Homo-oligomer: A and B are copies of this chain.
Amino acid sequence: MNTFGTIFRLTDFGDTHGPCMGGIIDGCPSGLLFDIPFVQAELARRSLPGDGRCEKDEVRFLSGIYDGVTTGAPIGFVIENEDGIASPVTNQLLKPSHSSFVYKEKYGHTCNEQGGRSSARQTVCRVVAGAVAKMFLRNHGVTVTSRVLASSVQVPSGDTVGATVEAVIHGLPAGLGEPVYDKFDARLAAAMLSIPACKGFEIGEGFRAANMLGSQYNDVQNPDFSFQTNHDGGVQAGITNGEDVIFRVAFKPIPSIQLSQKTIDYQGNETIYASSNRNDVCVAPRVLPVVEAMAAHVTFDLMLLKQANKL
């Protein structure tokens, strides 16, 4: 199931050690002035120079665009893996809190190649589709932004740390989202939890709401139908109410650390593992364009879906 979305859909492929990543964006209406430099700029935010793997991430579009405008046909694209060609490390260790063990259980093979799909590298495809969604959204006055909330933790050399990201969708019309199982925030939650290393999602007051009284929490409306407060984070009963959609996403520390850790190999023998790769210290700030891309994707998809509700 490498497809995301109902009407506006991304299907993608690519192994982190293979020749390239790529995808197909389907359901994109015809007639959009296609802004390739913007896509490239979003990709650049994701591949900020840092400690970890850093690629040029030049995207090549292969279909669905003619004379700089979308045609309504599916948009195929590829992004080369420059570092990837090197060497698929088929080591025999189960890296702690990594995908190695669960992939072995799921697919029955003990090479690391498959792990390519769980790598953060996969998120380049999300950023491309998200950038296309953002192009449409900005034509409708909708923006998606995000920031890292400060962490008070000091990170020793060779270690990693988690992060909380807060994002805001601004300019949304009221009425987006489906009442029961496809609530706007249910879709957002699934989108966020599908990002590697994500461990939590909350909207508006989120977990704080559990300790609030109804009389404190309820958002009262003004005579112009705007709201005096936004404890609900812009979504009520699963449907946008026209206020900013505000949500937060929790990420765990990147599991690959340079410090030595106990672990086992595929045969169950105890051993020691220390990552020798240069890894990022934290998913932030490189995860920001990914969070925004997924939020933009969900928003645009539900805008298209809403149109199918009427006749």
Contacts and interface: CB of A to CB of B under 8 A. Distances in A.
Interface stretch (A38-46, A50-58, A190-198): A190-198
Interface in A251-290: 251-257, 259, 261-264, 268-270
A103 interface: yes
B264 A225 contact: yes
Interface residues of A, number: 157
B222 A264 contact: yes
Given A102-B174, A105-B174, A250 B13 contact: no
Which of A102, A114, A152 neighbours the largest number of chain B CB atoms within 10 Å of its CB? A102
A202 to B, nearest CB: 3
Given A114-B73, A309-B29, A311-B140, A3 B3 contact: yes
How many copies of this chain sit in the oligomeric assembly?
Answer: 4
A168 interface: no
Contacts of A4: 180-181
A62 interface: yes
B202 A200 contact: yes
Nearest to A310: B29
Interface string A94-135: 101111011101111101011111100010000000000000
A41 B193 CA distance: 32
Contacts of A89: none
A97 B308 contact: no
B217 A253 contact: yes
A76 interface: yes
B159 A214 contact: yes
Which 5 pairs between the two chains have the least Cβ-Cβ distance? A200-B202, A13-B76, A99-B237, A160-B214, A214-B253
